[in-house]
Structure 1
Amino acid sequence: MCQTLGAGMVLTCGWFYFTMFLPEGDLRLSHLGLTCSVFTVSMYLSPLTDLVAIVRSGNVQRLSFPLTVATILTSTSWVLYGLQLNDYYIVVPNTPGIFTSLIRFYLFWRFASVSQSLPSYKSMQI
């Protein structure tokens, strides 16, 4: 509940900042683009926070394979779209999504034999 309220407060403060304090035009769009870019990059990097634990244990059960596939498809499509528009506010923040997905695919490949011994969905049915 506190996290939801905190996120709502951040969104409300952002809305006030962009609508009340910044004049309409290029400055507002520039600040909004930068803010969205920061949030997008942090979203793509967040699954790698468990990277040290995954490498130490050799177990990729903390990572979601379907999310990794969706991330690479989504980030690649946004990068291609941004390149067509020559819009770096689209290209730059979505590029880390491609790289982080490739890192996660490597981890799935590297530690596949360890994780296949006990898939996470079967461990709950014991």
Structure 2
Amino acid sequence: MEAGAADALLSGVCVVFTLGMFSTGLSDLRHMWMTRRVDSVQFLPFLTTDVNNLSWLGYGTLKGDGTLIVVNAVGAVLQTLYILVYLHYCPRKGVELLQTAALLGVLLLGFGYFWLLVPNIEARLQQLGLFCSVFTISMYLSPLTDLARVIQTKSTQRLSFSLTIATLLTSASWTLYGFRLSDPYIMVPNVPGILTSFIRLWLFWKYPQEQDRNYQLLQT
């Protein structure tokens, strides 16, 4: 396979896997739409993913990378839709609006700094790439507290198997994509996604959800 065809195939794989991961939120969207309640749906992952998408969209635009632009533009639209529906059905919006204002403030300050105070394009690209990388790594590492809770309770009910597989495939494809482009800002932050996905898969193997249901039945 020629290099150009291989790059195009890898780009397509990144787009498909990433949009598949973003679309896992459609089940939450359907739940909120049908029940008109937010129940156990978590708001912060929608918000942080949206900010992450917008950050990488800026990096992709500055770099001229069509794959990054397409994926993160669609991702930002989806996450914004999830956020708006959540806020519509959330009875008390104070905390959510405060979180939204805080993260959007950080995003606006960051972009103001990069575009106004860093005139050199190459320096701007490197600093924005570093910002995106750190933000992505923090997103992948933030669920470690949930994983510790799973080990403590010996229950994987709070984990999503489909999201775990989607995250593994997405992280692996972007790691390979970043390696192919010799872009550490794309490659490095996706490695924690691979590692945490393997940890989740190990937890699913060690604490099967069928075992959780049987345990709950014995308790009732």
Structure 2 residues without counterparts, runs of 5 or longer: 1-96
Superposition RMSD in Å: 1.6
Which residue is equivalent to 1:115?
Answer: 212
Say whether residues 1:60 and 2:156 are aligned partners.
Answer: yes
Measured in 1, the distance between the counterparts of 2:124 and 2:213 equals: 50
Q: Aligned residues: percent identity?
A: 52
**TM superposition shift of 1:92:** 0.6
Deviations 1:48-100 (A, max 9, x none): 22122211110111212111111001101101111111111111111111011
**TM superposition shift of 1:2:** 0.8
Which residue is equivalent to 2:130?
Answer: 34
Which residue is equivalent to 1:88?
Answer: 184
Say whether residues 1:8 and 2:69 are aligned partners.
Answer: no
Measured in 2, the distance between the counterparts of 1:38 and 1:116 equals: 38
Measured in 2, the distance between the counterparts of 1:14 and 1:117 equals: 49
**TM superposition shift of 1:35:** 0.4
Structure 1 residues without counterparts, runs of 5 or longer: 120-126
Kindly provide the amino acid, as one letter, of the partner of residue 127 in structure 2: H
Kindly provide the amino acid, as one letter, of the partner of residue 49 in structure 1: T
Q: Between Structure 1 and Structure 2, how many residues are aligned?
A: 119
Is the CA contact (8 Å cut-off) linking 1:47 and 1:63 kept in structure 2? no
3-state SS of paired residue (2:143):
helix
Deviations 1:21-54 (A, max 9, x none): 1122221111101100001111111222212221
Kindly provide the amino acid, as one letter, of the partner of residue 126 in structure 2: S
Which residue is equivalent to 2:193?
Answer: 97
TM-score normalized by the length of structure 2: 0.51
3-state SS of paired residue (2:142):
helix
TM-score normalized by the length of structure 1: 0.87
Aligned runs of 1:46-57 on 2, under 5 Å? Answer: 46-57=142-153
Higher relative contact order (CA 8 A, sep 6+): 1
Measured in 2, the distance between the counterparts of 1:5 and 1:117 equals: 43
Is the CA contact (8 Å cut-off) linking 2:168 and 2:193 kept in structure 1? yes
Say whether residues 1:45 and 2:45 are aligned partners.
Answer: no
Which residue is equivalent to 1:76?
Answer: 172
**TM superposition shift of 1:118:** 7.0
Is the CA contact (8 Å cut-off) linking 2:133 and 2:185 kept in structure 1? yes
Is the CA contact (8 Å cut-off) linking 2:147 and 2:200 kept in structure 1? no
**TM superposition shift of 1:116:** 4.0
Measured in 1, the distance between the counterparts of 2:152 and 2:159 equals: 14
